[in-house]
Amino acid sequence: MPKRIGIFGGTFDPVHIGHLRSALEVADMMALDELRLIPSARPPHRGAPQVAAPDRLTMVALAVADLAPLCVDDRELKRDKPSYSIDTLESLRAELAGDDQLFLILGWDAFCGLPSWHRWDELLQHCHILVLQRPDADSEAPETLRNLLAARSISDPLTLEGPGGQISFIWQTPLAVSATQIRTLLASGKSVRFLVPDAVLTYIHAHGLYRASN
């Protein structure tokens, strides 16, 4: 049987219940064998994360410790260059059987920014793309993506076939949590309990992360 593997990238600075709940729902709905959370080292599209890579990696590892099929994948932190998704996909593909299915999970905003990504037009050679769409979002895809969507999108994500090449949408109501909000709360000495798993909270406090002086 081909394996079904989802990949969910992010800075995870820190990982929070919004990421985890959303990832679990996708894994469940898509019957994934694995859903890999992949912390990025130097994200090409945003400023440097506040906390160092090993801490972000450990927090994700703690968060998914007992949460199969979620798991953590540290390959982007082992590379000494920006975290390009195409490199990640190529290295994953090199480890998998030819008929294994890869699903790159992207929020709608990230999907709309795709044309600015390094070698973006090669991504679908390696994976399917699952776009997480919010029921309240009404923005249109940019012009460059409209032809691609017309050619490659299918309405039911459960009917995605083969190792890659197609795009589908998953409608989800995300929890209103962001890492930015969590960093702000911590910097002002406020509690983030229930916004991150308890093991992550313990790690944050034990290592003095996200304090105003950091």
Closest among 95, 89, 113 to 164, alpha carbons compared: 89
Per-residue binding string, ligand ATP, 166-185, x by CB under 6 A, is: --------xx-xxxx-----
Is residue 69 a contact residue for ligand ATP (CB under 6 A)? no
Residues 60-64: contacts with CB under 8 Å, at least 24 apart: 60/12, 60/15, 62/197, 62/199, 62/200, 62/203, 63/15, 63/20, 63/37, 63/196, 63/197, 63/199, 63/200, 64/20, 64/37
Selected from 4, 7, 13, 58, the binder of ligand ATP by CB under 6 A is: 13
Q: Please identify, using beta-carbon distances, which residue of 160 and 182 lies nearer to ligand ATP.
A: 182
Q: Which stretch binds ligand ATP (CB under 6 A): 18-26, 59-67, 141-149, 203-211?
A: 18-26
- Could you give the CA distance from residue 139 to residue 3 in angstroms, rounded to a whole number? 34
Quote the CA–CA distance of 43 and 32 in Å, as a whole number. 26
Q: How would you list the strands of the sheet with 4-10, edge to edge? A: 70-72, 34-39, 4-10, 101-107, 128-133, 167-171
Which tokens sit at 80?
């000494």
Stretch that binds ligand ATP, among 17-25, 62-70, 151-159, 160-168 (CB under 6 A): 17-25
Task: Pick between residue 165 and residue 174 the one whose CB is nearest to ligand ATP.
Answer: 174
* Using rule CB under 6 A, residue 73 touches ligand ATP: no
- Does residue 10 bind ligand ATP (CB under 6 A)? yes
Of the residues 4, 5, 7, 19, which one makes contact with ligand ATP according to CB under 6 A: 19
Residue numbers at the binding site for ligand ATP (CB under 6 A): 10-13, 18-19, 22, 107, 110, 174-175, 177-180
